[in-house]
A and B are shown apart, each in its own frame.
Chain A
Amino acid sequence: MDLLGINPILLIASLMVSATPILLAATGELVVEKSGVLNLGVEGMMIVGAVVGFITAVTVESPALGFATAAIAGALLSLIFAILVLYFKSNQVATGLGLTLVGLGISALLGKPYEGIKSPSLESLDIPLLSDLPVVGRMLFSHDAMVYISILVVLLVWYTLKHTRLGLILRAVGENHDAAHALGYKVIHIRMFAIMFGGACAGLGGAYISLARVPQWTEGMTAGAGWIALAIVVFASWKPWRALVGAYLFGGITVLQLNLQAAGVAIPVEYLSMSPFLITIAVLVIISAKGNHGAPASLGRLFHASN
Chain B
Amino acid sequence: MKLKSILATTVAAVALSSAAMAADVKVGFVFVGPVGDGGWTYEHNQGRLAVEKHFGDRVETIFQESVPEGADAERVMSQMALQGADLIFTTSFGYMDPTINVAKKFPKVKFEHATGYKRADNVSTYSARFYEGRAVQGHIAGKMTKTNKVGYIGSFPIPEVIRGINSAYIHAKKANPDVEFNVVWAYTWFDPAKEADAANALIEQGADVILQHTDSTAPQAAAQKAGNVITFGQASDMGEYAPFPRVSSIIDNWAPYYIARTQAVLDGTWVSTDTWDGIGPGMVGIGEITSAVPADVKAEAEALRDAIASGEYHPFTGPLNKQDGSAWLAEGETADDGTLAGMSFYVEGLKGTIPQ
**Partner among A115, A117, A218, A258 whose Cβ is within 8 Å of the Cβ of B197:** A258
Return the contact of B191 from the options A112, A216, A223 (Cβ within 8 A): A223
Interface size on A, residues (CB 8 A): 40
Contact A112/B36 with A223-B191, A224-B191, A225-B193 known, Cβ cut-off 8 Å: yes
Q: A116 and B240 in contact (CB under 8 A), knowing A218-B218, A220-B37? A: yes
Give 1 or 0 for each of B223-251: 1 = CB within 8 Å of chain A CB. Answer: 01100000000000010100000000000
**Cα-based distance from A2 to B86 in the complex (angstroms):** 58
Q: Cβ of B38 < 8 Å from any Cβ of A?
A: yes
Once bound together, how far apart are the Cα atoms of A127 and B83, in whole Å? 60
Q: Determine whether B146 belongs to the interface, using a CB cutoff of 8 Å to chain A.
A: no
Interface residues of B in 200-226 (CB under 8 A from A): 200-202, 204-205, 207, 216-218, 221-222, 224-225
Question: Contacts A262-B205, A264-B351: A215 and B197 contacting too (C-beta < 8 A)?
Answer: no
For the complex, give the distance between the alpha carbons of A216 and B202 in Å.
Answer: 19
User: What is the CA–CA distance of A266 and B352 in the complex, to the nearest angstrom?
Assistant: 7
- Considering the chains assembled together, what is the distance between the CA atoms of A222 and B192 in angstroms? 8
CB distance from B303 to the nearest CB of A (A): 30
Quick one: which of A101-118 are within 8 Å of B by CB? 108, 111-112, 115-118
Q: Which A residues touch B351, using CB under 8 A?
A: 264
Known: A254-B197, A255-B201. A266 touches B183 (CB 8 A): no
A residues near B352, Cβ cutoff 8 Å: 264, 266
* Residue in A223, A261, A270 whose CB lies within 8 Å of B193: A223
Indicate if B33 sits at the interface (CB-CB under 8 A). yes
Hey, which chain B residues are within 8 Å of A115, CB to CB? 36, 38
In the bound assembly, the distance between CA atoms of A145 and B217 in angstroms comes to 25
- Assuming the A-B contacts A116-B240, A219-B37, A225-B193, are A259 and B204 also in contact, with contact meaning beta carbons closer than 8 angstroms in the complex? yes
Which of B36, B183, B218 gathers most chain A CB within 10 Å? B36
Complex CA–CA separation, A265 to B141 (angstroms): 24
Q: Are B198 and A218 within 8 A (Cβ)?
A: no
**A209 CB contact (under 8 Å) in B66, B190, B192, B204:** B192
A221 touches B182 (CB 8 A): no
Closest to A225 in B: B193
- In the complex, whether B34 has a CB less than 8 A from a CB of chain A is yes
Interface residues of A in 184-241 (CB under 8 A from B): 209, 213-216, 218-225
A268 within 8 A of B: yes
B58 at the interface (CB under 8 A from A): no
A106 to chain B minimum Cβ distance, whole angstroms, is 13
Closest to B183 in A: A261
Residues 174 to 196 of chain B near chain A (Cβ within 8 Å): 182-188, 190-194, 196
The minimal Cβ–Cβ distance linking A204 to chain B, given in whole angstroms, is: 15
Complex alpha-carbon distance, A268 and B355, angstroms: 7
Find the A residue at minimum CB distance from B157: A269
Number of interface residues of B (CB under 8 A): 42
Q: At the interface, yes or no: B339 with Cβ under 8 Å from chain A?
A: no
Bound complex: CA A223 to CA B187 (Å): 13
One of B194, B201, B240 near A117 (C-beta < 8 A): B240
Does A10 reach chain B (CB closer than 8 Å)? Answer: yes
Chain B residues with CB under 8 A of A270: 355
Contacting residues of chain B (4-58) with chain A, CB-CB under 8 angstroms: 33-38
User: Roughly how many angstroms separate A25 CA and B182 CA in the complex, as a whole number?
Assistant: 33
B151 within 8 A of A: yes
Complex interface bits, A269-284 against B, C-beta within 8 A gives 1, otherwise 0: 1100100000000000
Q: Inside 8 A of B353's CB, which chain A residues have their CB?
A: 266
CB proximity of B10 to chain A, nearest CB, Å: 26
Chain A residues within an 8 Å CB radius of B205: 5, 259, 262-263
Interface pair B201/A219, CB less than 8 Å apart: no
CB of B193 within 8 A of CB of A209, answer yes
Task: Say if the beta carbon of A18 comes within 8 Å of chain B.
Answer: yes
* Whole-angstrom distance between the Cβ of B233 and the nearest chain A Cβ: 11
Contact A214 B36 (CB under 8 A): no
- Encoded as 1 (CB less than 8 Å from any A CB) or 0, chain B from 335 to 356 comes to 0000000000000000111010
B193 and A219 form a contact (CB under 8 A): no
Min distance, Cβ A256 to any Cβ of chain B, angstroms = 9
A291 to B353, CA, bound (A): 45
Verify if A160 is at the interface (C-beta below 8 Å from B).
no
Other A-B pairs beyond A108-B34, A116-B217, A220-B190, 15, CB < 8 Å:
A7-B204, A10-B204, A14-B200, A121-B225, A214-B193, A214-B196, A218-B36, A218-B37, A218-B216, A220-B66, A223-B190, A223-B191, A255-B197, A262-B182, A264-B352
> Can you report 16 A-B residue pairs in the complex whose CB atoms are below 8 A from each other?
A14-B200, A18-B197, A111-B36, A116-B38, A116-B238, A209-B192, A214-B193, A214-B222, A220-B37, A220-B66, A220-B190, A223-B188, A223-B191, A255-B197, A261-B185, A268-B355
Chain A interfacial positions (CB closer than 8 Å to B):
5, 7, 10, 14, 18, 21, 108, 111-112, 115-118, 121, 209, 213-216, 218-225, 254-255, 258-259, 261-264, 266, 268-270, 273
Which 3 residue pairs across A and B have the least CB separation, nearest first? A219-B36, A116-B240, A219-B34
